[in-house]
Amino acid sequence: MTTQTTAPETPSAPVAGRTSGALGMPAPVARALATGGGVLSVVSTFLAWTWTSEFPGDLTVYGYPGGLQVLVLIAGALTALFGLSSYGVKGLTGLTPAGGDGALRFASLAAFGTAWYTVIAISSTLGGVVNLEPGGYLAAAASLIAVLGAHTLPFERPEPDPLDPDESAWEHIKHRLAHGWQTVKASYAGGTPRPVGALPSYAEILIIVAILALGLTVFTYGIGTSYDELFIGFLITAGFGFAALNKAGLVAQASQITARHQNITMVGAFVAAALFPFTQTDDQYATVGVYILIFATVALGLNIVVGLAGLLDLGYVAFLGVGAYAAALVSGSPSSPFDVHFPFWAAVLVGAAASLVFGVLIGAPTLRLRGDYLAIVTLGFGEIFRITANNLDGTSGPDLTNGSNGIASIPNLDILGFDFGAQHDVGGFTIGRFANYFFLMLIITAVVVLVFRRSGDSRIGRAWVAIREDETAAHAMGINGFRVKLIAFAVGASLAGLAGTVQAHVTYTVTPEQYLFAGPIPPNSAFLLAAVVLGGMGTISGPLIGASLLFLIPNKLQFLGDYQLLAFGVALILLMRFRPEGLIPNRRRQLEFHEEAEAPAVLTKAGA
């Protein structure tokens, strides 16, 4: 006799189709409150929030949002749009392909968090709530109504896939595997499978352009925030806003579109990045931009070692230092013991070759270790490099690196008569020193991206992934694990050395203290590893975005003083808790971390 068993029903589980929220409020009423609160939040930004311009941003103007009001305007508009979309308003349903209620909740949190932070900041800075004008009170009340309405909506779980009651569990598994194999074949045959009813190619390319323009706008706004309160408000709005877009399914949809047009997306991303210096009026933020590119390029090189080959390297920043010192020694610096001045192309080759040699020398005796043991050895190498560079001062050792004083007064680059230390006028825009190095570093980043992409898609790249997933099984399939890991170590080291050659000329001075395992300011080994994990291991865009965030946020949070790393650490913990696969994960890691959400409920049969 055959019986069908199902999991016992949990009393607290939400019921599909439920029409009342957590407080017994009907869903249409809760949705109306959330949408109305979003609309009122938008209206409040056109009113004065305080009576004096002493609070940064001048929130005293009627009819023209400024400062933090702009962020509340954006968050309130998102709340209203997602609310109308969840109502099924014609023309807006496409905003929430994965459902509107989850997106509505996060959008309302963005409006609520930014509005209440602003109200509290005004009261704290100016001395009480009496300094609020009607617009401030309306923003606080409207955002509170929106968040209450959104969070009283019922939580509905999607219905599981219908299954044939006469189909055994094994037959169902075979059916799922066959479906997955068809998807894999379609992927290898022509890239990412194109879904039925997808937009025309030209429309998808326009969407990619819009996505890149939005990314450039958000990055430029975030890096150019002129006061601390505005940056904190930006973090609140951007964090909850991204979560809302992700819940709505727009992030997944954008990922699918960009995956179908990878080359166009990559070229467009570099064009958007090249436009960044032209959005700045001085060199202040171009300075941050060039350091972000150096940090991101090194993180992408580490992604080969950690993300593709699965080798935990805790001393990777030492390879950046080897390249920087090698380039500094042949740069014509008066602090260098070598009286030579190589051209830039030769200095690049020297820096990359030196890091490559050190990568092979360190990797050859250590890469037979695995896991934690390898991590400890690489950590030791990073510390040995820093201590050795500190001791090569002519007293404790040979006079090579000038000890703790480092190699100073490194001259600016001069390539084909183009002086990177001078200002240049391009199309009516004045491009300063750091903008010049920004463009140079952007070219090097493009080279590193090309190397990463080509190597990842090659035979050796597939061997790296096999070693990462199961080294024993890879050995059984005939893969020489030691050789494959050594190649990954050498390629990653040479890419770090390539970035180090530019860093030496940008910073003018190379000192051992720049290459710590951990410290308040990147790049260091801990931040590099965090950038790879935070952005998404094994992807191209993940480490670039992760490195940008990990450099920009601590740089902007310096006003917190001793609490800077505390706030930063809490943010990383929360992000890893709710998105452990990273901001831009590959499909494999997303399934690893969210397997329970992807796998359907399977009915089992028991024979009696």
Amino acid at 569: G
In angstroms, the Cα distances linking 10 to 6, 7, 14, 387, 520 are 12, 9, 9, 59, 47
Averaged pLDDT, 360-370: 81
**What gap in Å lies between CA 453 and CA 281, rounded to an integer?**
34
Range from 52-61, 511-520, 598-607 carrying the lowest mean pLDDT? 598-607
pLDDT tens for each residue of 45-98: 999 999 888 888 889 889 889 889 999 999 999 999 998 888 777 777 778 887
Neighbour-count burial for 192-218, b at 16+ CB within 10 Å, e otherwise? bbeeeeeeeeeebbebbeebbeeebee
pLDDT tens for each residue of 407-451: 888 888 888 777 787 777 776 777 777 888 888 889 888 888 888
Amino acid at 416: L
Averaged pLDDT, 290-300: 87
**What gap in Å lies between CA 584 and CA 246, rounded to an integer?**
11
Amino acid at 433: R
Give the pLDDT of residue 240: 92
Q: Which residues pair with 426 in a beta bridge?
A: 429
Residue 361 has pLDDT above 50, yes or no: yes
Residue 23 has pLDDT above 50, yes or no: yes
- By CB atoms closer than 10 A (0-12, 13-18, 19+), residue 2 is exposed
Indicate the average pLDDT of the chain: 79
| Maximum CA extent, the chain | 91
Give the pLDDT of residue 598: 45
**What gap in Å lies between CA 434 and CA 503, rounded to an integer?**
11
CA 582 to chain centre: 8
With residue 356 as reference, give the H or E element that holds it. helix 344-366
Q: What percent of the chain has pLDDT over 70?
A: 83
Domain positions in the chain? 27-155+201-236, 282-519
What are 496's two structure tokens?
């770090």
Q: Which of 442, 131, 170, 186 has its CA nearest to residue 297?
A: 442
pLDDT tens for each residue of 476-497: 888 888 888 888 888 888 988 8
More confident position, 154 or 126:
126
With residue 419 as reference, give the H or E element that holds it. strand 418-419
Residue 10 has pLDDT above 60, yes or no: no
Give the pLDDT of residue 604: 38
Q: Which of 211, 255, 209, 240 has its CA nearest to residue 79?
A: 240
pLDDT tens for each residue of 259-290: 888 888 888 888 888 888 887 776 777 788 88
Residue 190 has pLDDT above 50, yes or no: no
How confident is residue 172, by pLDDT bands cut at 50, 70 and 90? very low
Q: Which residues pair with 331 in a beta bridge?
A: 341
- By CB atoms closer than 10 A (0-12, 13-18, 19+), residue 164 is exposed
How confident is residue 20, by pLDDT bands cut at 50, 70 and 90? low
